[in-house]
């Protein structure tokens, strides 16, 4: 009887010890999970902080840049160290309404001669036809600017990709925009999700 009691007590001790170890394992696992969550959260905060230092979000209004950008597209703009180049899609301050912005493509820069044959719908830069695979249609629509024109120093000639539905440098209301009106280059579309990608 005494031997049976000792064995029974020994079994209880082993079970209590096992439960204690299991409890310690659960507590340790929970602590590890909390640390993992904290590390992931911290990394995410640092990532978005770094993104915000070099990029800023922008919302496209209207379809003047279709099919490249459409109304409601949400994009990222790169401004730090950006140097404008022909062909870039950029955000610029609207000269007629300083609280508004334009999204256009840089077609020509200072010293360039721009001519447009509205009958053929072809844009010429320095006498050479411009290849424009990004356009929705040829350039048939003109406004009040007479061509050819030469882009003055520190200015840009810009057009919308939806060429016949865009108000841009063909109109004296917009004209050729100062270089310092450029807010940045549109580099990435992050919404809508089915059209995420680099802007070219």
Among the listed residues 29, 31, 64, 96, the single catalytic one is 64
**String of DSSP letters for 84-149:** --TT-EEEEE-SS-TT-EEEEEEEEETT-EEEEETTTTEEEETTEEPP-TT-SS------S--SSE
CA distance 126 to 196: 35
- Establish whether 104 is a catalytic residue: yes
- Out of 2, 26, 104, 171, the active site residue is 104
- Catalytic residue flag (residue 181): no
Closest by CA position to 113, among listed 155, 164, 154, 147: 147
Contact by Cβ (8 Å): 94, 104: no
Instruction: List the catalytic residues.
Output: 64, 104
């Amino acid at each position: 009887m005494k031997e049976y009691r000792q064995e029974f007590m020994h079994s209880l001790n082993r079970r209590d010890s096992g439960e204690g170890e299991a409890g310690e394992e659960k507590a340790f696992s929970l602590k590890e999970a909390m640390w993992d969550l904290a590390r992931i959260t911290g990394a995410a905060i640092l990532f978005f902080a770094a993104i915000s230092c070099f990029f800023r979000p922008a919302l496209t209004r209207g379809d003047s840049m279709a099919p490249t950008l459409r109304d409601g597209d949400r994009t990222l703009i790169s401004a730090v160290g950006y140097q404008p180049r022909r062909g870039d899609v950029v955000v610029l301050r609207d000269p007629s309404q300083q609280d508004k912005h334009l999204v256009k493509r840089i077609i020509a820069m200072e010293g360039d001669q721009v001519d447009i044959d509205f009958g053929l719908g072809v844009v010429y830069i320095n006498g050479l036809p411009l290849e424009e695979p990004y356009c929705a249609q040829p350039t048939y629509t003109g406004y009040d600017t007479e061509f050819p024109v030469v882009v003055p120093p520190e200015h840009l000639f810009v057009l919308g990709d939806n060429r016949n539905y865009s108000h841009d440098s063909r109109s004296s209301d917009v004209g050729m925009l100062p270089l310092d009106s450029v807010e940045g280059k549109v580099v990435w579309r992050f919404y809508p999700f089915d059209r995420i990608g680099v802007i070219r």
